[in-house]
Structure 1
Amino acid sequence: MLTLLHTSPVHVPVFDALRDEEAPGLALRHLVRPELLDRAREQGPGAVADEVAEMLAHAARQGARTALCTCSTIGAVAEAAGGPLGLPVLRVDRPMAAAAVAAGPRIVVLAALESTLAPTKDLIAQEAARAGREVQVRTVVVPGAWERFAAGDTGGFLEAVAAAAREVTAADAIVLAQASMAAAADRPAGGVPVLSSPRSGLRAAAQLAASARSLSGLRTM
């Protein structure tokens, strides 16, 4: 079983659909806790660390072998909580960050929330260090995007993100910092590749779940 920790209910059908395409038959369990993002924005991601650890511990007791955190703001907190529990936890944007580093040194991060910028920049730095590369990261908070998202104006939200992507120049990759922005990558853009996190994150988490399942099977032999 793969447990997904979300801070918005809009992600549930998105990841269910991706599971059907990428890993049919993989059991998913969705935990949706919008208040975690609210507190993390107000007080910092560390403010929700204990609660995230408690949720993951409960998930492990319920049979989860792997977890995927789809919220970039609290992703690092979730990954850190998994270690002491013996539960592999992946933040959804890690594979995207690795792909951005591979694309080239000039990376632009687009975000709807300012609270996402620092965690995303830190993640890209981690992946750059892992790859032995140097990168330059520019960040942009898309004006009005979060307000549209919060109001349920999905079309307006995605168009704001796509418009911001079209304005980017002199970059090797554009990173969409939040999973909710993913559909904007499919809209007409300029010449810079636009990377989003849900598909690559789900694919990597499914592989982790399969590895954990195989390891568990070996232990019972």
Structure 2
Amino acid sequence: MLTLLHTSPVHVPVFDALRDQDHPGLELRHVVLPELLERARRDGAAAVAPDVRRALRQAVADGARAVLVTCSTLGGVAESGAGGDDAGVPVLRVDRPMAAAAVALGPRVVVLATLGSTLGPTCALVEDEAVRAGRPVAVRTHVPDGAWSAFAAGDTARCARLVADVADGIGDADVIVLAQASMAPAEQLVTTSVPVLSSPRRGLAAGAGAALRR
């Protein structure tokens, strides 16, 4: 079983659909803890590390063979001391495979996020993958105006449109990274010739692989 740790219920049907398309038969368990993102935004991701650790240990107690963290703000916390080897099973962040793919496409990486709190963790992740690959990287960031407000209000279509409009205005980049899993619908709306990457499909593939290897 692969457990997915979310901070929004909107991700549940998205990952279920991807599972049905790409990994039929894979057992998923969804844990949704929106309060963790709210506190991380207010107090910093490190402040919720004990709660992330508890959530990971509970997932293992409930039978998880691997845990995939779909919140970009909490991904680094889960991978490091709050989770990682302490959990006893692989703990993966959904955006790491996307970051690796981005680095392979070129050094000029633009990170788009609907939340400013996501920019730091995602930029650090891209830079980490660049070091691993031995490639240079220069990361720029942008937060589309109004996108988070639209998402928080339940207007995911408007959120995706606002993100896509910003992406379409970026020309001097080798790749555009959509930092949060919730931004994935914008990938289908962009018209730019610059590659635009989202995390859910790549992240779920990595999580499935980790769960099935155990």
> TM-score scaled by structure 1?
0.94
| Match in the other structure for 1:68 | 68
Sequence identity, in percent?
A: 62
CA distance in 1, matches of 2:176, 2:48: 29
| Match in the other structure for 2:50 | 50
SS at the partner of 2:46? helix
The superposition leaves residues 114-150 of structure 1 with CA deviations (integer Å, 9 ceiling, x where unpaired) of 0000000000011001100110000001111000101
| Match in the other structure for 1:9 | 9
Return the letter of the residue paired with 1:194: V
Alignment counterpart, residue 92 of structure 1, candidates 91, 94, 98:
94
Work out whether residues 72 and 93 of structure 1, in 8 Å CA contact, stay in contact via their aligned partners in 2. yes
| Match in the other structure for 1:184 | 186
SS at the partner of 2:30? strand
| Match in the other structure for 1:19 | 19
Work out whether residues 108 and 137 of structure 1, in 8 Å CA contact, stay in contact via their aligned partners in 2. yes
CA distance in 2, matches of 1:113, 1:189: 23
CA distance in 1, matches of 2:58, 2:24: 25
SS at the partner of 2:73? coil
Work out whether residues 96 and 200 of structure 1, in 8 Å CA contact, stay in contact via their aligned partners in 2. yes
Work out whether residues 65 and 88 of structure 1, in 8 Å CA contact, stay in contact via their aligned partners in 2. yes
Q: How many residues align?
A: 212
1:85: how far off? 2.2
| Match in the other structure for 1:216 | none
| Match in the other structure for 1:128 | 130
> TM-score scaled by structure 2?
0.97
1:169: how far off? 1.2
Work out whether residues 167 and 190 of structure 2, in 8 Å CA contact, stay in contact via their aligned partners in 1. no
Return the letter of the residue paired with 2:65: R
Return the letter of the residue paired with 1:45: A
Return the letter of the residue paired with 2:203: G
| Match in the other structure for 1:102 | 104
> Which stretches of structure 1, 4 residues or longer, exceed 2 Å deviation after superposition?
none
1:10: how far off? 0.2
Work out whether residues 110 and 176 of structure 2, in 8 Å CA contact, stay in contact via their aligned partners in 1. yes
SS at the partner of 2:170? coil
The alignment status of 1:35 with 2:35, answered yes or no, reads: yes
| RMSD value, Cα | 0.7
The superposition leaves residues 53-112 of structure 1 with CA deviations (integer Å, 9 ceiling, x where unpaired) of 011111111111100000000001111213112221110000000000000000000000
CA distance in 1, matches of 2:25, 2:88: 24
Structure 1 residues 151-166: aligned runs within 5 Å: 151-166=153-168
Work out whether residues 108 and 139 of structure 1, in 8 Å CA contact, stay in contact via their aligned partners in 2. yes
Work out whether residues 56 and 82 of structure 1, in 8 Å CA contact, stay in contact via their aligned partners in 2. no
1:51: how far off? 0.6
CA distance in 2, matches of 1:162, 1:85: 37
The superposition leaves residues 147-199 of structure 1 with CA deviations (integer Å, 9 ceiling, x where unpaired) of 01011111111100000000111100000000000010011321100000000
Unaligned runs of 5+ in 2: none
| Match in the other structure for 1:171 | 173
Work out whether residues 53 and 82 of structure 1, in 8 Å CA contact, stay in contact via their aligned partners in 2. no
Return the letter of the residue paired with 1:193: P
